[in-house]
Amino acid sequence: MGLRLFNTLSRSVENFVPRDPYRKKVDLYCCGPTVHNFAHIGNFRTFVFADLLRRYLEFKGCEVRHVMNITDVEDKIIKGVAASGSDLTDYTRRYETAFLEDFRALGCLLPHATPRATEHIREIIALIENLLTKGLAYRASDGSIYFSIEKYRAAGHRYGQLLNLNFDAMRVGERVSADEYDKESVADFALWKARVAEDGAVCWASPWGEGRPGWHIECSAMSMKLLGTSFDLHLGGEDLIFPHHEDEIAQSEGAGLQPPGEPFVKHWLHAAHLLVDGKKMSKSLGNFYTLRDLLAKGYTGREIRYLLLTAHYRAPFNFTLENLAGARTALGRLDECFTKLGEFADSRSAVPDAKLLAEFTAALDDDLNVSAAWGNIFEWVRELNRTLDAGKMTPAAASSASSAWQRIDTVFGVGGKVETEAPPEILSLLEHRQAARQTKDFKRADAIREEMKRAGWVIEDTLNGPRLKRM
């Protein structure tokens, strides 16, 4: 296949070979949102990275099965439900809908499956029963079920596959019930949490009494149900490496459901942290942005997506409003060039520029080296502009260039400029309407259309996408 990716499991760049290389079938799981609030721009770095990888695998002819879970029960959600006075479903669906709107506004392809944790309680309970039977889990005095790291290691398994753990220097054998816990502790973690008064109505029946699942077990149960007990790719932000992903491996491989010699996941990829103005995002510092905050400032999902795709996924990325303005300028250069090419290109099918596609493929085959890919693209655009300015562009060359960009943009997904002079707030509404249509929320899409109409703008839905017109 030629694609090389950094595998957190081996701490090295490896040739990526699907488990089913003949059909080129690839199973991909990405840890999705915890729907307790609006997602911030740091969250979306991971999701745009996952979308890039999926698109590139499809560009290379793979049949990708993409699953992204929805965490709709965990500690923060239960606190939010109690504070809001609403029930669990109403509370989480509001943020789930908002997330999917934002997801589409960034041009991300909707995963083939978006399973909710609350809809997989039966599978979670079955997995916990398996671990109890194997002696790798135990029941605590309060009725909660915990995974035993000591017994897991005693059974010949390695705890610490994704990172090196110094068991002598860490607090081993402690027990934690929190979904997120001190990363200095190698602790037995909760698989099932017995119901407490603070949980309110958020609980399910189980063989061990009322309660609800721990966060880590949710992903294991859902991924193995939808992708099989051993699959190709598992993605997430680097903050999930430990304990979340390490615990996923422990409970999944501890259950012993994989074919002989195969791991739970063959290849683990993690996106680095995103900083804002050189610092960790914080509301107290005033540098905390949701996608909606940025859209309200007049930026578009297309510009935000482009900026997120300019840095290598494993490199820490400093997000600034100045860089976002630069993204607008860069996209403007692309738009201007391809608008001019469109005046020359003929309507017949064209062979894409082979040199550019070869350079693009070589760059992304190198662990998704987007910086090199964009460098080649903008050098190519400079040459196209020189040819255009010299009056030497031919219809065949224009068609070849346009066709090459269309192929590349199936991977980058930044699209083209919306041909309108609509103000930023109208463009923002248009983005959210498109997102609503993609998630089949037609009631919201129609409401947004009416809001735009009241503001003096109508939408024409064409084969080439939406077109705005002033009334």
* Residue 125 confidence (pLDDT): 98
Please give, one letter per residue, the 3-state secondary structure of 63-93.
EEEEEECEECCCHHHHHHHHHHCCCHHHHHH
Cβ contact 81:87 at 8 Å = yes
pTM of the entire structure?
0.88
The pLDDT of residue 459 is: 85
Task: Please say whether the structural domain 4-127+222-275 has been given the CATH code 3.20.20.330.
Answer: no
What pLDDT, on the 0 to 100 scale, is given for residue 65?
A: 98
Q: What's the confidence (pLDDT) of residue 171?
A: 67
CA distance 76 to 81: 9
- The pLDDT of residue 347: 64
Pick the CATH number of 320-417 from 1.20.120.640, 3.90.550.10, 1.10.10.10, 1.10.600.10: 1.20.120.640
Q: What integer pLDDT is reported at residue 418 of this predicted model?
A: 62
The residues facing 290 across adjacent strands are 40
What span, in angstroms and rounded, lies between the C-alpha atoms of 91 and 289? 21
Query: Domain spans of the chain?
Result: 4-127+222-275, 320-417, 424-470
The amino acid at residue 442 is: F
Q: What are phi and psi of 6, to 5 degrees?
A: -75, 125
Identify residue 370 by its one-letter amino acid code: V
pLDDT along the chain (471 residues), means of 10: 95 95 91 96 96 98 97 96 95 97 96 98 98 97 94 95 83 78 77 96 97 97 98 97 96 97 97 93 85 93 97 96 96 93 80 96 98 98 96 94 96 80 82 87 90 84 69 62
320-417 shares the fold of 4-127+222-275: no
What are the φ and ψ backbone dihedral angles of 200, each rounded to 5 degrees? 60, -130
Please classify residue 169 by burial: count the beta carbons closer than 10 Å to its beta carbon, then call 0-12 exposed, 13-18 middle and 19+ buried.
exposed
DSSP letters of 176-207? E-SSS--TTEEEEEEEEEE--GGGTT--B--T
Residue 405 has a pLDDT of 96
Residue 114 pLDDT: 98
- Which pLDDT value is given to residue 50? 98
For residues 212 and 144, give the distance between their C-alpha atoms in angstroms, rounded to a whole number.
9
- Note the pLDDT of residue 119: 98
